[in-house]
Amino acid sequence: MLTRVLALVLALAFSSVAFAEAAPWEIHPEWAKEFSDRAVAGSMLVYDERDNRYLVFDRARAETRFTPASTFKVFNALVALETGAVKDEYEVIRWDGVKRGMENWNRDQSLASAMKFSAVWFYQEMARRAGASRMQAWIDQVGYGNRDIGGGIDRFWLDGGKLRISALEQIGFLRRLAEGSLPFSPQAQEAVRRITIVDAAPDYILHAKTGWALRAAADGKHDLGWIVGWVERDGRRWFFAMNMDMSRGDADAAQRLPLARAILMRSGALPTAP
């Protein structure tokens, strides 16, 4: 059994590398303005599925692994559903009464609401219910990032934990979720696709998840911000993963979605603003 799992992990890793090498990369230095206008440094990677091409600003950074922070909630939700930690995305878990910094966290939550508000305590509980051995098995089977859950079952994806993933790997994972080819049940994958929708406009659907890790930037001094997801429009899909250094807390965090939207408009994934 162990040999089969190892073979699967290696096959996934090699196929991911082969895919990345096969698809051409287009460098877009003009996207630097979107970052500089917001006084942040970072990288944006977009994968155009129909044309099988990567569009990128700062390729080296896009291939560098960082702490996934709350972007890991997407994976965590799949494990929660698959292991029965919750019966579905609507089952409510009672708030433990501990006041936390985000007011939206201080209430009962479901898988869906905790995804929307990025309630860390809820997904920590999901990870504890899954347990370290099952969580490790799922991470190994999917081949998620560096597959290291050191740092504690309810901390390994947060600042201080050992899990790391690159923007390129984020896109590889999201592609498999979008097409339903992850080794989770079709029902679990469909539920997670539903709860990651942040904008359902008449002419497109935007799936996204943010993340914020303290002092997790490459210099070890700044916080790290993520936003990952995909756009469905006109029968096409564009996948994206952006990370950036954050030194101004909430002010920088608030720029993640607008910055991603601006570059997705530049890449043709989203319609340009009127």
pLDDT at position 83? 97
Residues 258, 260, 266, 267, CA torsion sign: negative
pLDDT value at residue 2: 44
Whether the model clears a pTM of 0.85, i.e. scores above it, the answer is: yes
Written as tens digits, the pLDDT of the chain (274 aa) is 444 444 454 545 444 444 555 899 999 999 999 999 999 999 999 999 999 999 999 999 999 999 999 999 999 999 999 999 999 999 999 999 999 988 999 999 999 999 999 999 999 999 999 999 999 999 999 999 999 999 999 999 999 999 999 999 999 999 999 999 999 999 999 999 999 999 999 999 999 999 999 999 988 889 999 999 999 999 999 999 999 999 999 999 999 999 999 999 999 999 987 5
- 89-97: long-range contacts, CB 8 A cutoff, minimum separation 24: 89/191, 89/192, 89/194, 89/195, 93/122, 93/125, 96/121
- The residue written with tokens 């896009």 in the block is 62
Q: What token pair was written down for 163?
A: 């899990």
Q: Which residues are catalytic?
A: 70
Sign of CA dihedral 148, 90, 118, 166: positive
pLDDT for residue 22: 83
Phi, psi angles (nearest 5°) of residue 197 = -75, 125
Which pLDDT belongs to residue 20? Answer: 54
What domains, with CATH codes, occur in the chain? 23-266 (3.40.710.10)
Token pair of 55 as six digits: 């569009």
Sheet containing 53-57, strands listed edge to edge, beginning at the edge strand earlier in sequence: 25-27, 53-57, 42-48, 236-246, 223-233, 204-213, 197-201
